[in-house]
Structure 1
Amino acid sequence: MKIGITCYPTYGGSGAIATELGIALAERGHEIHFISYAQPFRLPHFMERVFFHEVEMVHYPLFEHNNYSLALAAVMHEVALRERLDVLHVHYAIPHATSAWIAKEMLGDRHPVKIVTTLHGTDITLIGQERNFWEITRFSIQKSDGITAVSDYLKRETVDAFRVPADTIEVIPNFVDPGLYSRDRYPCWKTAFLRDGEKLVLHVSNFRPVKRVRDVVRVFARLTKEVPSRLVFIGDGPDRPEAVDEARMLGITDRVVFLGKQDSVAEIMACADLLILPSQNESFGLVALEGMASGVPVIASNAGGLPEVVDDGETGFMAPVGDVEAMADGAIHILRDPETWRRFSAAARRSATERYGVASIIPRYERYYERIVAGAPSEEPALVPAD
């Protein structure tokens, strides 16, 4: 099968999943064409059956504002026609599904191509529900031949917010490569961060307000009083100063390390003892899954799609959003006793591998593509009329 994939190529869960999906499909014999404004950050320089098509922007005074959506549609049309693509798989409803619909309309009868849209979260829970974007988000979903969501939670959100019939959305969860996220694959760099006997506690995010980074520091501050530890932050974003300020106010600046954005998160996770993810909301929780695949127990908020990933009391502990005390209690319970940590670590690795491993999830995408290309479900899912 020939599949075009469009995603945001920068750091972020949707881009990482889209890229890993393309790589895995290519390894299974499919021809993959990435279409974006830059090469996805997780895409190697060369892979057999993998191609990259850059969307170049037109710089002209008339186009004072970003014209990426139209430029993307033009390249999608060109690639689909020239390469005879079977599927345009876009990640995010807007603007990617909108651009794919324009490309399909341009193709007309010259070449039939199916649009599969994967909903990742922000396009549904935040941007899409803005008044100015609601109609076009709904329209773009409607014009997709197939719709997938990364969690049952996100499916429910889409059905409720956009009045989409539930049976038009297929839940195909995010996935992880157990070979990439393996503690045995990498040398441990704990000595670069820790003193003897200390535990390495990790947080990975884009430091947006929804990630509640102050709560990360507060949970850690209570934990480190009971279990000698250091907190390592990976990533960057607008709320990084908030985390720095919280560490200063709590007097633990010397125990908190900020590494910024890192290409090899798996290598650092292989050293970690615990992952803290107290988010206000997560559509799935890919970071939690990657940590679990690395044998890292997770302390998380009971929000969004996270309960679908983390098994409370088995692969980590969950608590209500903002309940710092409960999260700290869970962290202490896991890290204070080596045997308890080993049990949680083994369960986390096993759950990630068996339920969300590449070998389990990629065939589900293949079967879904086949259904869509064959014409099922219907080419234009009916929507409940808007008010």
Structure 2
Amino acid sequence: MKILLCVPEYPPHHVGGGGPVFHALAQEYTKLGHEVMVIYGYYPTKHGFESLKQYTEYGIQFVQVPLLPTPRFTSFLKTVLPTGPWNLSKLRNIIRDFQPEKAHLHGYGLMFINQLAKIIVDQKIPYIYTLHGAPVSADKKGGIIQKVYNLYKHTWGKFILDHASDITAVSQYTIDNFSEFHPYKDRIRIVPNGIYPEEFAKQIDYNIYDQYNVPEGSTIYLSIGRIERRKGHDKFIKMIPSLVESGVDVRYFIAGQDNGYKQVLDSLSQELGVSERIYYLGFVSGDDKLSMLQHADYVIFPSEKETFGLVTLEAMASGTTPIINNIGGFVDIVQDGKNGIIVNFSRVEEYRGLIGKNINKDVMRGTVQYYNWKKIAINYLG
């Protein structure tokens, strides 16, 4: 079968966890014997008039489409903006020539994906539409941005949902907590994101934390993800003084790109007198990431909002206990006390009661087998 995968971004240029998800799906569809074309948005453009780029890698056809450039101070729009109208006729021809039997679209609230949906509907191609959540910036920004998004929900947002032959969501939280999707609840089925468990079973023979001169006997807490307010790093930092009073030598490592919030965390940690206990690693990947996961005592997720939480699975596959906030898509994955720990990160006393608690590694590694990418890809195609 010919499958057209339409996504807002693709590695190496991606702002969040979507890039690896789209990469894995393209690979798995190909391994299943399908012919795959990936059309993806390219946001690092200078003027938006760059040409489409077509190429083939690992048996997969790619079309890189430049999006309109993001205005200054609006980085949250990186994957939201459309491509220029001058590219649409080329895309129509590319899709028509490929003759896909099925399309798979990702991303709600993203104009480029809606542009592709219109072409796909016009060419009468059935498509799966996967929901990873909905934009949260509109409500935060308010004003004209919120008005534009409200208009989107009742026009383009409704169009792409109405015409989908199959709608999926990555978690129950995604369905329940975004009112945009409530009218479609009866049509939505859950297909979670996945990982390759075998990649995290590889044992790394060095401990990345050694280079930071971590005192012997310290307890290492790790967070992986962009440094921004909704990730909740501040919640755990506020807990550190209480944990130290309880006799825990806390060392908190934060791995991820700074989206402008590190300065806030620096001020908070200085105010609480815990700056020397916090380490910023920047973006980490490959064996260094595996070493971080395998040699941490806990991987923590104090996020305020998370529709899935892929790193939770990565922690389990690495044999390291995840501690999650009692919110979002995390709770679709974690069973408290069985394959992870669920706490309310706003309650210090609740967290202190968990000191020294760990979860059986075999149970955690057993959980992630359900989230193997091959199974996920087969599930998408029904």
- Mark yes or no: TM-score above 0.5: yes
Taking structure 2 as the reference length, the TM-score comes to: 0.80
Measured after TM superposition, the shift of residue 170 of structure 1 is 1.5
Measured after TM superposition, the shift of residue 157 of structure 1 is 3.2
**Are residues 1:169 and 2:188 paired?**
yes
Q: Distance in 1 between matches of 2:27 and 2:352?
A: 38
**Are residues 1:48 and 2:48 paired?**
no
Question: In the alignment, residue 27 of structure 2 is paired with which amino acid?
Answer: I
Contact kept? 1:300, 1:317, Cα under 8 Å: yes
Q: Distance in 1 between matches of 2:86 and 2:285?
A: 29
Contact kept? 1:118, 1:147, Cα under 8 Å: yes
Taking structure 1 as the reference length, the TM-score comes to: 0.79
Matches within 5 A, 1:1-387: 1-5=1-5, 6-9=7-10, 10-38=14-42, 47-56=57-66, 67-68=82-83, 70=85, 73-74=88-89, 76-95=91-110, 96-107=112-123, 112-123=124-135, 127=138, 130-135=149-154, 136-158=156-178, 160-182=179-201, 184=203, 187-193=206-212, 194-225=214-245, 226-235=247-256, 236-264=258-286, 265-320=289-344, 322-330=346-354, 332-334=355-357, 341=358, 343-353=359-369, 355-367=370-382
What are the ranges of 5 or more consecutive residues in structure 2 without an aligned counterpart?
45-54, 70-79, 140-145
3-state secondary structure, aligned to 1:26: helix
Contact kept? 2:131, 2:170, Cα under 8 Å: yes
What are the ranges of 5 or more consecutive residues in structure 1 without an aligned counterpart?
60-64, 335-340, 368-387
The percentage of counterpart residues that share the same residue type is 23
**Alignment CA distance shift 1:162-1:180 (3 Å):** same
Q: Distance in 2 between matches of 1:29 and 1:269?
A: 33
**Alignment CA distance shift 1:117-1:215 (3 Å):** same
**Alignment CA distance shift 1:304-1:228 (3 Å):** same
**Alignment CA distance shift 1:29-1:3 (3 Å):** same
**Alignment CA distance shift 1:252-1:138 (3 Å):** same
Q: Distance in 1 between matches of 2:364 and 2:109?
A: 34
Q: Distance in 1 between matches of 2:15 and 2:240?
A: 25
Measured after TM superposition, the shift of residue 349 of structure 1 is 2.2
Question: In the alignment, residue 152 of structure 2 is paired with which amino acid?
Answer: F
Number of paired residues? 343
Measured after TM superposition, the shift of residue 165 of structure 1 is 3.3
Once the two structures are superposed, what CA deviation does each residue of 1:314-333 show, in whole Å capped at 9, x if it has no partner? 22221235223323432x13
3-state secondary structure, aligned to 2:221: strand
Measured after TM superposition, the shift of residue 222 of structure 1 is 3.5
Q: Distance in 1 between matches of 2:176 and 2:101?
A: 29
Partner in structure 1 of residue 77 of structure 2:
none
Q: Distance in 1 between matches of 2:201 and 2:126?
A: 36
